[in-house]
Amino acid sequence: MILYGDLHGNCNGALDLITPDALVKKYGEAVLKQKYLVILGDGGFLWKNSPYCARGGELLKAFDAMPWKTICVAGNHKNFEDIYDEDNLTTVDGQPFYQISDKVFYFKRYGSYTLENKKLLVLGGAASIDRAMRQEGVSWFPEECLSPDEQRDIVKNLCGSYDAVLAHTLPQSIARIHLNGSPLFHDDNSIFFEKLQQIISFNYWFYGHFHNNDEIITGTRKYEVLYFNTILY
């Protein structure tokens, strides 16, 4: 599968790096055999008041023309109401997704999945540091962080061991390393993920949100953030 960071509805030409032509140039023709492109949050699809990002808009048409399915992790800048409408709920290979166009899907906000024979824990959401500049229900959504009930449900249904975590943000202790000791913005997800990572086994934690590219290795675990960059996993 191909992993990519925040898209933000093709902000600053983010789409240009994940077209088939761009990925063939980077990885060779074999990349066209990939089944999935995974966006690690803030895809920007169905963004309110944006015809470009709407159903039938140019953004979704571009993704529907690609040879793979695109699957998004829930970010914080996300139109939760329209994306997570029960009418969008479908199954692909026996697993639940929210389908918003022919080839574009969202994982559930959280849960265990298996793609390409890899066991994955999906953890969506994060806190918006720019919340004060946004309008509730239009550009900011209170569902951006997992609720206490959702957190309890995650713990209850854990499988214990995973190949990778696909998330939008990361555990609090790793965030401190990522930010080189800078003060942390309060993020309920990051606090919860700190506790969660202590009770599961995983090799990789892939995330977006921070708008840079970096990797942090602690013991046998690797945390990797992507922004305007792709990797094959």
Q: Residue 230 domain-assigned?
A: no
The residue ranges of DSSP E strands in the chain, in sequence order, are 2-4, 36-39, 69-72, 89-92, 95-99, 104-107, 110-115, 118-123, 164-167, 204-207, 214-218, 221-225, 230-232
Look up the pTM and report it: 0.94
Asked if residue 232 is part of any domain, the answer here is no
- Of the candidates 174, 222, 179, 180, the residue with the CA atom closest to the CA atom of residue 194: 174
- Structural contact between residues 27 and 58, judged by C-beta atoms closer than 8 angstroms: no
> Residue 183: what pLDDT?
61
Give domain status of residue 111, yes or no: yes
108-149, pLDDT tens digit by residue?
999 999 999 999 999 999 988 776 677 877 767 778 889 999
Quick check: is 209 in a domain?
Answer: yes
Token duo for residue 142 = 């209170």
Contacts of residue 30, defined as CB under 8 A and 6 or more positions apart, other chains included, come to none
Residue 231 is assigned to a structural domain of this protein: no
Enumerate residue ranges in the chain where pLDDT < 50.
Answer: none
Is 62 a member of any domain? yes
Nearest to 231 by CA among 3, 22, 46, 1: 3
State the total domains in the chain: 1
CATH number of the domain encompassing residue 50? 3.60.21
What whole-number distance in Å separates Cα of residue 3 and Cα of residue 18?
10
